[in-house]
Structure 1
Amino acid sequence: MAYETLIAVDALRDMLASGADVLVFDCEFDLGDPGKGARVYAAGHIPGARHAHLDEDLASPPDGTNGRHPLPARVALAAWLRAQGLRKGQQVVACDSSGGAWAARLWWLLRWLGHAPVAVLDGGKPAWIAAGLPLEAGGVPPAASGDFEPGEPLVPTPVSARQVLRNIDEQAAQVLDARDPSRFAGNPNSLDPVAGHIPGARNRFFRDNLGPDGRFRPATELAAEFAALLGGAPAILQCGSGVTACHNALAMAIAGLPAGRLYPGSWSEWIADPARPVETGTGTDPEPLPST
């Protein structure tokens, strides 16, 4: 059985115990301390998991105009995945300790490369630990190079800032912003040099996709809430830098809704050009975990 959205802790445990062909990536990351994820990974990760660093592996270097986490080049990302041992058709599982905030980025990227069997561990490492399952410390041995090659994308073509700007007038799609409500409203914060949101955007904080236990909420609830926000329009998904927008993409896939188009540069690219319009208002106090 292939998993293409979520995988439960018990299912991953059974796959690993049976020696099934599965490749696990630990996507731990901290916006305020980019080296912390690697340290947390080294201190304890799901046995056999490899570390995927958001800045170094799941993004290309920013140039000041293209957002904080530009998409990596497809060729470079595919080469890195092969170096981690990824093979054609192999089940991939991505996890973190932040409700899938970072793991969903790898999920989206692999689908962008045409790889269907990729899932996020529902509940992440906290659910693994709560189930009494072991972690291992240190790194993992170098992998034999895999044979993965990118194929046709399984996600819609990403949109550019120019297309998002044009959409403000055309209103052909609804922009959904995954940042917390305070940042969306335009309250001062440490991440956004210019506060606010894209005119016409609606706020869908990625944390709202999760229940109190850190697992994704039922598909029917997600479907109803996204449908209410979209009103029948297709979605453009953005956040601070195109990372937690992927969490909303995953939630929409769980809900069985048509896939939205990712705006990879997101707010950090949008505000790099002062000519682009900014809107403020409609916010609440932020949640503890910032979106990126």
Structure 2
Amino acid sequence: MKYIVTNEWLANRLNQEEIRIIDCRYYMGDAPRGLKEYIRGHIPGALYFDLEMDLSSPIKEHGGRHPLPNIDEFIEKLSSAGIDKDTVVVAYDSQASSIAARFWWILRYLGHEQVYVLDGGYEKWVESGYPITTDVPIYSRKTFVANLQPHLIATMEDVQRGIKDKSTLLIDSREPKRYLGIAEPIDRIAGHIPGAKNYFWREGLTEDACWKTSIEQEQRFADIPKAQEVIVYCGSGVTACPNVLALTEAGYTNVRLYVGSWSDWISYPENQIAKGKNE
């Protein structure tokens, strides 16, 4: 696979200067837990990036629950982590790669192609007997230069246009009961964006949180033409990222992330809401 690396691959490169490892563990409802777990143990050489503090910006009236981080501030964090255009970056988490995929997507949006997600996450690393440490590394500063890729982002207006002219396939990445509007444990309104199809993000991984193969991803999305323009969303632009990664591995090249996602969509009273399978 193009953007997924194995434990063995990473273990063989732990001491290489051009490798930078990012720990993205985060727990909804218990924000400090990820950092606490990182302090108790992490992959050697890993630095910690927090979903709320590093991979998102403060919530506003619009933009959803996890708006993109301030780009200048994020670039400074990457530079302080010793990351530049030549650095090979590997992200991992304990959330079936959902947060690591968010990190992967942001770096690709910034124009950095050498970014990967560790297959199986932290648990598989530990289960496989690979080393962990409590040492927090310090790296020499480098200069990260962004080359923004705006074609990877979809705005709310892009979604509205796609609905109107039916030129775009909308993928809702949330679990089926949220897509159908049966239950909504997080956002204030239940349902989905009209016309969206449900491809639950977790189905791109096995039960033990390893990524399915490129061929299996192609089979998941077999009813979507490869040339189709696709916009992917979830609740807040996080768990949509594993679907973006899966589509990329399956060979789709015209895939955009609606960063604000459902939580942004419902912040506009004029936007329509659908429920059930056929809306």
TM over 0.5: yes
- Looking at structure 2, the residues matched to 257 and 233 of structure 1 have their Cα atoms a distance apart, in angstroms, of 8
- Looking at structure 1, the residues matched to 238 and 142 of structure 2 have their Cα atoms a distance apart, in angstroms, of 26
Q: Which runs of 5+ in 1 are unaligned?
A: 284-292
Instruction: Say which SS state the counterpart of residue 117 (structure 2) adopts.
Output: strand
- CA-to-partner distance for each residue in 1:103-146, whole Å, 9 max, x for gaps? 00010111111111100001111110121112212x51432211
8 Å contact 2:226–2:251 — kept in the other structure?
A: no
Say whether 1:106 aligns with 2:99. Answer: no
- Looking at structure 2, the residues matched to 160 and 246 of structure 1 have their Cα atoms a distance apart, in angstroms, of 15
Say whether 1:150 aligns with 2:168. Answer: no
Instruction: Say which SS state the counterpart of residue 157 (structure 2) adopts.
Output: helix
- CA-to-partner distance for each residue in 1:28-82, whole Å, 9 max, x for gaps? 0112112111111111111110111011111111113210111123222111110
Q: Which amino acid aligns with 1:267?
A: W
- 1:204 deviation in Å? 1.0
- Looking at structure 2, the residues matched to 276 and 172 of structure 1 have their Cα atoms a distance apart, in angstroms, of 18
Q: 2:127 aligns with which of 125, 130, 143?
A: 130
Q: CA RMSD in A?
A: 1.8
8 Å contact 2:46–2:137 — kept in the other structure?
A: no
The aligned residue for residue 9 of structure 2 is: 11
- Looking at structure 1, the residues matched to 254 and 40 of structure 2 have their Cα atoms a distance apart, in angstroms, of 36
The aligned residue for residue 163 of structure 1 is: 158
Q: Which moved more, 1:165-174 or 1:261-270?
A: 165-174
8 Å contact 2:204–2:217 — kept in the other structure?
A: yes
Query: What TM-score do you get using the length of structure 2 for normalisation?
Result: 0.94
Count the aligned residue pairs. 278
Decide whether aligned partners of structure 1 residues 231 and 46 sit closer, same or farther in structure 2, where only a CA change above 3 A counts: closer
Say whether 1:192 aligns with 2:196. Answer: no
Q: Which amino acid aligns with 2:18?
A: D
- Looking at structure 2, the residues matched to 46 and 94 of structure 1 have their Cα atoms a distance apart, in angstroms, of 11
The aligned residue for residue 223 of structure 1 is: 218
The aligned residue for residue 54 of structure 2 is: 57
Decide whether aligned partners of structure 1 residues 71 and 30 sit closer, same or farther in structure 2, where only a CA change above 3 A counts: same
Decide whether aligned partners of structure 1 residues 21 and 246 sit closer, same or farther in structure 2, where only a CA change above 3 A counts: same
Q: Which amino acid aligns with 1:182?
A: K
Q: Percent identity?
A: 37
Q: Which amino acid aligns with 2:273?
A: V
Instruction: Say which SS state the counterpart of residue 223 (structure 2) adopts.
Output: helix
Q: Which runs of 5+ in 2 are unaligned?
A: none
- Looking at structure 2, the residues matched to 170 and 189 of structure 1 have their Cα atoms a distance apart, in angstroms, of 29
Q: Which moved more, 1:109-118 or 1:156-165?
A: 156-165
8 Å contact 1:223–1:257 — kept in the other structure?
A: no
Q: Which amino acid aligns with 1:106?
A: F
Q: 1:89 aligns with which of 83, 86, 90?
A: 86
Instruction: Say which SS state the counterpart of residue 12 (structure 2) adopts.
Output: helix
Instruction: Say which SS state the counterpart of residue 277 (structure 1) adopts.
Output: coil
Instruction: Say which SS state the counterpart of residue 98 (structure 2) adopts.
Output: coil
Q: 1:274 aligns with which of 254, 269, 275?
A: 269
Decide whether aligned partners of structure 1 residues 184 and 68 sit closer, same or farther in structure 2, where only a CA change above 3 A counts: same
- CA-to-partner distance for each residue in 1:207-235, whole Å, 9 max, x for gaps? 00001231111111211221314685211
8 Å contact 1:249–1:259 — kept in the other structure?
A: no
Say whether 1:115 aligns with 2:112. Answer: yes
8 Å contact 1:236–1:263 — kept in the other structure?
A: yes
Which contiguous aligned blocks of 4+ residues in structure 1 show a shift greater than 6 angstroms? none
